[in-house]
């Protein structure tokens, strides 16, 4: 399908100066959201992540098991939204979290570089879905946009890859597309990548893999949320937003919460439309909520 022409239906991206001005405004507004209630919502939106070369069945089982123990040790708090892992551990996590509300997020499709054959990407996604819990409606897949082709301007190829991968999963599987905003750099490319992902069927657009030098930035989040807003106004379809990589403190989480609140509105501030990819942020959010140091994970 031709997607590049649809970009012309949307206004161009803000300039870097305009984005910086908008961020100044939002940073000031974010102070009001340094509250336990906001931190609780942010914690409930966390995709608790382990994506290490040292991951094993044993370590991932222990990791997911801590999240399950959270229900007993913090019964007064909402738990994280999902456990995010590499494809071979989908079934492992499924066994551990069975019977809970937590979803399973698997990176796939040549994560983190997306530099492999499309057929390999499709197969990896299909295997991850098949080995997971898609039939029970709580599996999610995070893939990476083809950044190299995006930088070369091959926009139809970029979007068609997403479309082909989306076709490999049932509608109840949530597809998050990582645009790797730190590699795209400019507001123009970040906006185009976000729109192309949504055109092709993304349920979420996500900032980063966390595997390159520049991960999530508030400036990229502003551009992406504006793209989500404009896409919704034109189509009526709500797409979620996920910052990931470099979100460490409770204040970081509250800033992204405020960006979503200011640009998309409070209706986006649920785990169905707002996620935070994090590991260390989970303990820091718990510490801010409880008012004492918490090292649970």
Do 178 and 207 meet the contact criterion of CB atoms below 8 Å apart? yes
Q: How many CB atoms lie within 10 A of CB 181?
A: 30
Q: Of 47, 203, 242, 252, which is the active-site residue? A: 242
Burial 219-256 (b: 16+ CB within 10 A, else e): bbbbbbbbbbbbbbeeeeeebbbbbbbbbeebebbbbb
Cβ within 8 Å of residue 129, ≥6 positions away: 139, 141, 168, 169, 170, 173
192 is an active site residue: no
Q: Which residues pair with 175 in a beta bridge?
A: 141
Q: Of 121, 176, 192, 206, which is the active-site residue? A: 206
Question: DSSP assignment, residue 171?
Answer: T
DSSP assignment of 237-288, as one string?
---EEE-BSS--SHHHHHHHHHHHHHHT-GGG-STTTB-EEESHHHHHHHHH
206 is an active site residue: yes
242 is an active site residue: yes
Q: Return d(Cα 218, Cα 222) in angstroms, integer.
A: 6
Q: Return d(Cα 209, Cα 216) in angstroms, integer.
A: 9
Q: Which two tokens stand for residue 83?
A: 């456990």
Stretch (H or E) spanning 78: none
Q: Of 142, 176, 192, 252, which is the active-site residue? A: 142
Q: How many CB atoms lie within 10 A of CB 66?
A: 15
Q: Which two tokens stand for residue 225?
A: 């949320």
Do 164 and 139 meet the contact criterion of CB atoms below 8 Å apart? no
* Cα separations in angstroms, 107 against 72, 84, 90, 276: 28, 7, 10, 14
Catalytic residues: 142, 206, 242
């Amino acid at each position: 399908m031709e997607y590049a022409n649809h970009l012309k239906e949307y206004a161009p991206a803000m300039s870097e100066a305009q984005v910086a001005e908008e961020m100044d405004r939002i940073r000031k507004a974010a102070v009001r959201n340094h509250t336990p209630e906001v931190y609780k919502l942010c914690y409930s939106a966390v995709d608790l992540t382990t994506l290490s070369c040292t991951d094993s069945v044993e370590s991932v089982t222990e990791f997911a098991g801590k999240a399950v123990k959270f229900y007993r040790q913090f019964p007064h708090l909402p738990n994280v939204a999902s456990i995010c892992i590499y494809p071979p551990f989908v079934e492992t996590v499924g066994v551990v979290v069975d019977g809970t509300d937590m979803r399973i997020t698997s990176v796939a499709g040549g994560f983190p570089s997306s530099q492999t054959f499309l057929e390999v990407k499709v197969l990896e996604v299909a295997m991850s879905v098949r080995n997971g819990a898609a039939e029970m409606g709580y599996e999610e897949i995070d893939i990476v946009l083809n950044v190299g082709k995006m930088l070369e301007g091959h926009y139809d190829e970029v979007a068609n890859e997403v479309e082909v991968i989306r076709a490999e999963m049932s509608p109840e599987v949530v597809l998050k597309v990582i645009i790797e905003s730190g590699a795209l750099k400019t507001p123009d490319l970040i906006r185009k990548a976000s729109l192309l992902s949504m055109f092709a069927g993304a349920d979420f657009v996500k900032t980063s893999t966390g595997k390159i030098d520049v991960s999530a930035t508030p400036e990229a989040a502003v551009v992406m949320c504006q793209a989500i807003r404009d896409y919704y106004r034109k189509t009526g379809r709500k797409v979620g937003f996920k910052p990931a990589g470099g979100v460490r403190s409770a204040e970081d989480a509250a800033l992204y919460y405020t960006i979503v609140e200011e640009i998309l509105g409070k209706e986006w501030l649920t785990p169905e439309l707002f996620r935070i990819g994090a590991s260390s942020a989970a303990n820091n959010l718990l510490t801010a909520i409880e008012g004492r140091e918490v090292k649970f994970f």
